[in-house]
Structure 1
Amino acid sequence: MEVAPDFVPEVTKDCLEKKQLRSLLKYACKQISLKEFSEAAIAEQSKRKLEADQIKKKQIKQAAINAEKNKKRKIINKILKKYDLSISFINHGDINKLKHMIEKLDHGSRLNQDEIAWLMVTRKGFHAGYYTQRLREKYHSNEAEYYSSKFIRTKNPWDIINASSHFRKCNQSKKANLILIKINTDKFKSKKIKSAFNTTFGGVKRDLRNLDEALSLGSQAHLLTPKDFRPCTLLGAVNIEIGNYDEGQSWYKKAIERGATEKSVDDDLRSIFMRLDKSKRKDLAIFLYENDPERYRWVKKYIQ
């Protein structure tokens, strides 16, 4: 007895259709002969294999793309973490440019002032933007190495003076000291250069807590260029640090008279103040507040 086409249950039809076994479905429904089924099945198998291969290739390609993305993400996260930044903190549109700048610094290259400005102001709502303390220190370290190497070539004293300034700003005053002690200043013909050298060397000695040497170098610098505020600022800072408050204030006053801003002097004082231990901080707070309660109103809370 011949089986009717509709004998095939709907559930079976659906199953064969989903598995794309269309030739088998047609044969089961008596729509094609066994020979036609055999030929169609071979063609279907070839098509399914081709489609499966294509899908597998796409999956492999996508897996490779994902792996590369993950690799890049890990590299970005690693270098960001090194400089105290987080991917969640960075605006999406800034990532590539920021990564490029950080990689430049990390490899020892220099950034120009436009790039530094971009780091500082691009991330709105934060005081230093993307310019973290570690990035700042790396920038100054690269600059210090640049000017040190340049000095070896040029013997231009301004290069080593610039190098010293940058070494100080990245906590490498010991390295600056080792370089500066080897410099023969007798070869410097200009008083301005000698004064600048002594001032930066005095700053290095101050960082290393060799305060007597810092005072001596500052005094020499002031004698060489009595109208320059920079030696006065150094002498003001060192005297404040050793407890000679009146002397320190006198030098700071001279610095302002010679061109230093009151803000820069007050910032210097605030920096010194915050590094002192509790008892010395209170003594300095009392001195400053009695000297000018309006200008130094920020110290009042440390007196009580």
Structure 2
Amino acid sequence: MDECKFNLAASFVRFSSVGNLDERSLTSISRHMDHRKLQNQHFTALKEKYQVEHNQSAEPDIFLYFILRKAELGIQITEIEFQWLIENRFTKTAGIIDLQQYKTEELQRLEAELLRLRVRYCIPEDAELTIANPISSLLWKVESGGVISASELELLNHDALVDTKKVIQEVLQFSQLKVTYKAAKYLDRLPEEPLFSILKKLDVREQLTDAEADWLLAHDFYETLDIYWQQENERKAEREFSVLKAKYQVEAHPDTSISSPLYTILKKLDAEEALVNRECKWLSKQNLNTLVTLAQHHKDKILFASLKSKYQATQCESSEPTNPLFLILKRLEALNSETSMRNWDSQVIAGDIQWLSDQGLAGTAQILIQTHFRMLKTKYRIFGALAIEPFYEIMLRLERGERLDPKQVVQLIEEGRLSRTGNIAIAHYRLEAIFYEKEYRRTGNRWNLASASSNWRKAGKPEKALQVTETLNWDKVKELDLKAALLVTRGAAFRDLEQLDEAEQCATKAMEYQPESHQPFTLMGALSYDRGNYTQGDDWFEMAVERGATDTDNEIEKIVRMTKQKEKRREVVEYLLNKDPDRYKWAKVYLKPESL
């Protein structure tokens, strides 16, 4: 290029030096100047189009210009030329030219790809198929994994394209199966073997061969294999469900799916596991009553085993709930529940204890004794420590309605081991009262009426104490001491009912019949204290002592204890302490706030 510029300049000088230029020469020079201008404009346009950035020369670079002209004409750029562009930092230009030349070959490539798709999708050789044909678009869409609509498949409803449609349908099926069964990493879209046949088997839940399962493992299709093993487990469960339905004779039940509650229930029953309440309710709703009965049997067996372990009865080898031990252990378990403490017949429990002892289950019998003893303590309102002997036997006798030994009761009361107003003592007095009433009816001995009345009073039943003697024909009672005793006990019963006037009348009559007996005088002393006449009461008590009474202080203490009105109690206590602080020091306890 520089050489051309030099020659042109030299010619211009030469012509100028001559001084006389003809018209032809001037025209030639002018045309040469226009060509050069156009060449520069052309080069500038090419540089702009191909983004030549760092070439600042206004004059065309001969080699660069040559390359750009070739590119513009669509002539293939050589490797030497591409290398020159890179070396001279025309990288962007090289890229544009490379892309442009790639585009010129696009049609050829499309035709080559279409040819490959024709073979891949079984397009017959004699079928005309251009790139512009909709079927070509369909092939490329299938190849890209696109979703094909039914209307698009209609394009293939041509006799010559039957095989093509079949292949495409299999490709679409293959793609869907790969997604469903976690085999999408297999990129080839054509349904090649053995994966396609494996996935089709999985889709219809058909069992694979060992070779097919090994193929999945060898090709790292672990998720697909997991799905297969899950299907295998489900098939195994379905076979088990069928066997269980036959075993328990419920084949007629319509449920066949392993998701049915029946399958879980049958498995539990077969393993002799207990059913939960909702499962039993489900069986009842399904009218599967034989299974309900069987479920209860299994539940009882489980409970029986648990109770034997809990209550030291494992020596018993039987596991059947029909064994008498099961019922006994259930009663024992119920006895340990506070809500059931008072609901069992002690005679039944005593029979259970005897049965356990006879069967050599001494440990269980002892547990039942301790539990029963605790229950009886609760029933008789005994709190705190209490020796099992002799009180367990005492309470058993009371439960059986048997009389206690009165001497033993008195001794226990005197020893402070038994409260005279406690439930054991009250139950004892009640039994004594009933006994003496029966004895009176049997023998006609009226002294039994006095004993019955006295015991009814001690049992806290003054009304019954009065009823015993209510219809008595006093004229037929000849013994004065008996009349006095009956009147005293009636008077005491009236006093218990706070009918003091009637009580005084009985005491007065008793004095007339037996003036030397201390009992009516003791009753009069108590009545005086009830009325607040303490000095008068002391006089009566003194006369009772003169006649042999030894328990007047106990009677006074009982009066204080049984007084319900706080002010009246304080009054009598203060009177006693002022009278004799040493003799009545026990009364101080009744001045405490909790006693008042």
Instruction: Calculate the TM-score normalised by the size of structure 2.
Output: 0.36
Residues 108-162 of structure 1 show CA distances to partners (whole Å, capped at 9, x for unaligned) of 22122365368669xxxx8325988111111110110111121122221100000
Separation in 1, partners of 2:375, 2:566: 38
> Does the Cα contact within 8 Å between 2:522 and 2:544 map onto a contact in 1?
yes
Please point out which of 440, 453, 464 is paired with 1:175: 464
Q: 1:67 Cα deviation (Å)?
A: 5.8
Q: Distance in 1 between matches of 2:316 and 2:548?
A: 71
Cα shift readout 1:194-220 (whole Å, capped 9, x = no counterpart): 111111111111111110010111011
After superposition, residues 1-304 of structure 1 pair within 5 angstroms as: 58=317, 60=319, 65=325, 68-69=328-329, 71-72=331-332, 74=335, 75=349, 76=372, 77-85=374-382, 89-91=385-387, 94=389, 98-113=391-406, 116=409, 127-128=416-417, 133-261=422-550, 264-276=551-563, 277-299=565-587, 302=591
Identity of aligned residues (%): 28
The 3 A distance-change label for structure 1 pair 278 and 128 is same
* CA distance, structure 1, for counterparts of residue 445 and residue 470 of structure 2: 16
Deviation at 1:282, TM superposition (A): 2.5
Once the two structures are TM-superposed, the CA of residue 66 in structure 1 deviates from its matched residue by 7.1
Sort the Cα spacing of 1:83 and 1:70 in 2 relative to 1 into closer, same or farther, 3 A.
Answer: farther
Q: For 2:317, what is the secondary structure of its paired residue?
A: helix
One-letter amino acid of the structure 2 residue matched with residue 177 of structure 1: L
In 2 relative to 1, CA 280–114 (structure 1 residues): closer, same or farther, beyond 3 Å?
Answer: closer
Aligned CA distance change for structure 1 residues 192 and 89 (closer, same or farther; 3 Å): same
CA distance in 2, matches of 1:225, 1:149: 27
- 5+ long unaligned stretches in structure 1: 1-54
Give distance in 1, aligned partners of 2:316 and 2:581.
77
1:104, CA displacement in angstroms? Answer: 2.1
Q: In terms of mean alpha carbon deviation, does 274-283 or 69-78 score higher?
A: 69-78
The CA distance in 2 between the partners of 1:132 and 1:69, in whole Å, is 35
Q: Deviations over 1:151-200 (max 9, x none)?
A: 12222110000000100011111112122221111111111111111111
With 222-231 and 160-169 compared, the bigger mean Cα shift is at 222-231
Cα distance in structure 2, aligned partners of 1:149 and 1:57: 46
Residue matched to 1:28:
none
Find the aligned partners of 1:208 and 1:129 in 2 and give their Cα distance: 25
Unaligned ranges ≥5, structure 2 = 1-313, 336-348, 350-371
Aligned residues: 240
**Cα distance change, pair 66–119 in 1 and its aligned pair in 2 (3 A):** farther
Q: Which has the higher helix share?
A: 1
Q: SS of 1:60's equivalent?
A: coil
Give the Cα separation in 2 of the matches to 1:297 and 1:268.
Answer: 15
C-alpha change, 1:101 and 1:237, in structure 2 (3 Å) is: same
Matches of 2:573 and 2:408 in 1, distance apart? 39
Q: Which has the larger radius of gyration?
A: 2
Q: State the SS of the aligned residue for 1:156.
A: coil
- RCO comparison, higher one (Cα < 8 Å, 6+): 1
CA pair 203-60 structure 1, distance change in 2 beyond 3 A: same
Query: Residues of 1 paired with 2:592 and 2:409: CA distance?
Result: 39
Alignment root-mean-square deviation, CA: 3.3
